[in-house]
Amino acid sequence: MFQQLKNIDSAFKHIKLFSLIVIVACAFTSCFTIYKSYELIMKAQDKVYILSNGKALEAWSAERKDNIPVEGRDHVKMFHYLFFTLDPDEKMIQGNIVKALYLADITAKRQYDNLKENRYYSNIISGNISQTIVPDSIAIDVEEYPYYFRYYAKQHIVRATSVVMRSLITEGYLRNVARSDNNPHGFLIERWNTLENQDIKTVNR
């Protein structure tokens, strides 16, 4: 009788232990499944599909801070391209300047007004002068906000009788603003200043 009770008690303990193990295993499996599902959903949300010419192209989303150096350099490059690329066409000059001024603050507008007052753009048109700019390098310090940049480039000025190459170095700061069609990178150039703008060489045509 006592032996039978002991056997029942022992069997009950074994069943209890086995049930506990099964419950723990099920709980672990459920938690692991939930974790992996969440991870999979987060990875899926990082994928972006862009529809181009009827084809779905896969892209990956990223944090803003990961792209600051790349987007900042492109913003600075585009601003200088628009501001300094000039041809003897008033509408072309005005169109480029308007686009450039969306990318910078009042310091760029002041420089434009000074050049206009000194008849720089009128001389470009009347003298049939073309001006292009080729960037050498763009340095951006992303350790401190607003982000300081320095831009190095060469200007090529084509006149009727000569081609002039000039060295251009500017500096400024990048401040975050809302993205828009006129400002796709979401930066605004502040305290823009020209450090150097001088002739390197002149070649007669």
Which residue matches tokens 């700019």? Answer: 133
> Mind listing the pLDDT tens digit for each residue in 166-205?
999 999 999 999 999 999 999 999 999 999 999 999 999 8
pLDDT band at 84 (very low <50, low <70, confident <90, very high): very high
Specify the pLDDT at position 66. Answer: 62
DSSP assigned state of 69: H
Between residues 70 and 4, which one has the greater pLDDT? 70
Report how far residue 153's alpha carbon sits from residue 131's, in angstroms, rounded to the nearest whole number.
13
pLDDT of residue 2 exceeding 50, the answer is: no
**Mean pLDDT score, 88-116:** 95
Q: Which residues of 90-122 are buried (b: 16+ CB within 10 A; e: fewer)?
A: eeebeebbebbbebbbeebeebbeeeeeeeebe
Q: Does domain 64-204 have CATH number 3.30.1310.10?
A: no
Question: Taking a C-beta distance cutoff of 8 angstroms, is the pair 194, 170 a contact?
Answer: yes
Closest CA to 76 of 197, 141, 172, 195: 172
Between residues 136 and 60, which one has the greater pLDDT? 136
Token pair belonging to 91:
């509408």
Secondary structure of residue 86 in the 3-state scheme? strand
Closest CA to 84 of 197, 180, 199: 197
pTM beyond 0.95: the answer is no
Q: Which residues contact 90 (CB under 8 A, 6 or more apart)?
A: 121, 125
> Mind listing the pLDDT tens digit for each residue in 8-59?
666 667 677 777 888 888 888 888 788 777 776 666 555 555 555 655 555 5
Phi and psi torsions of 24, nearest 5°? -65, -45
Q: How many CB atoms lie within 10 A of CB 201?
A: 8
Token pair belonging to 124:
């470009």
Mean pLDDT lowest among 51-65, 118-132, 162-176? 51-65
CA angle centred on 195, ends 156 and 154, rounded to 5°? 20
Specify the pLDDT at position 5. Answer: 46
Secondary structure of residue 100 in the 3-state scheme? helix
Token pair belonging to 44:
């899926």
